[in-house]
Structures are given as structure tokens and as C-alpha cells.
């Protein structure tokens, strides 16, 4: 399983977003190693977005 560290920069965020898009394009399935990697990447992206892109309500 690939380990994804916390995203620190906008460049890392953009690179990981591109990687996630590619995973969706190839049809990664939930429950596989690739699917688990995708879930972990999405978790890191959400952490970064919550920290850096706050929505005012």
C-alpha cells in the first residue's frame, strides 16, 4: 500500500488531485489495494481542503 503524507503545498495538492483523477479514469475499484490507496489520497485531500479552503456559511 502506498503511504500518503500530509499535503503541505498547493503543488502537492494539485499533483495528488491529478493522480486521483487518473485513478477514476482507469476505474479503480473499492476494496482493492488501488482502491485503498485512492481512499487514503482522498482523505489527505479533504484534510488539506478543510485547512486551506474554508467555506463561510
The grid coordinates listed for 40 are 487514503
2 lies in a domain?
Answer: no
Structural domain count, the chain:
1
Query: How high is the pLDDT of residue 56?
Result: 81
What is the pTM for the complete model shown? 0.86
Per-residue confidence at 17, pLDDT binned at 50, 70, 90?
very high
Q: How far apart are CA 23 and CA 29, in angstroms?
A: 9
3 lies in a domain?
Answer: no
pLDDT for 1 beyond 60: no
1 lies in a domain?
Answer: no
The grid coordinates listed for 15 are 499533483
Structural domain range at position 15: 10-52
19 lies in a domain?
Answer: yes
Please give the helix or strand (H or E) that residue 42 lies within, else none.
Answer: helix 33-52
Residue in the structure block whose three cell numbers are 488531485: 17
21 lies in a domain?
Answer: yes
Average pLDDT value for residue range 30-53: 95
Average pLDDT value for residue range 16-44: 96
24 lies in a domain?
Answer: yes
Residue 10, classed as helix, strand or coil, is helix
5 lies in a domain?
Answer: no
Query: How high is the pLDDT of residue 57?
Result: 74
Amino acid at each position: 500500500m502506498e503511504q500518503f503524507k500530509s499535503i503541505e503545498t498547493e503543488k502537492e495538492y494539485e499533483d495528488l488531485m491529478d493522480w486521483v483523477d487518473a485513478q477514476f479514469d482507469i476505474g479503480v475499484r473499492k476494496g482493492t489495494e488501488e482502491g485503498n490507496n485512492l481512499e487514503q489520497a482522498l482523505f489527505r485531500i479533504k484534510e488539506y481542503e478543510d485547512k486551506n479552503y474554508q467555506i463561510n456559511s
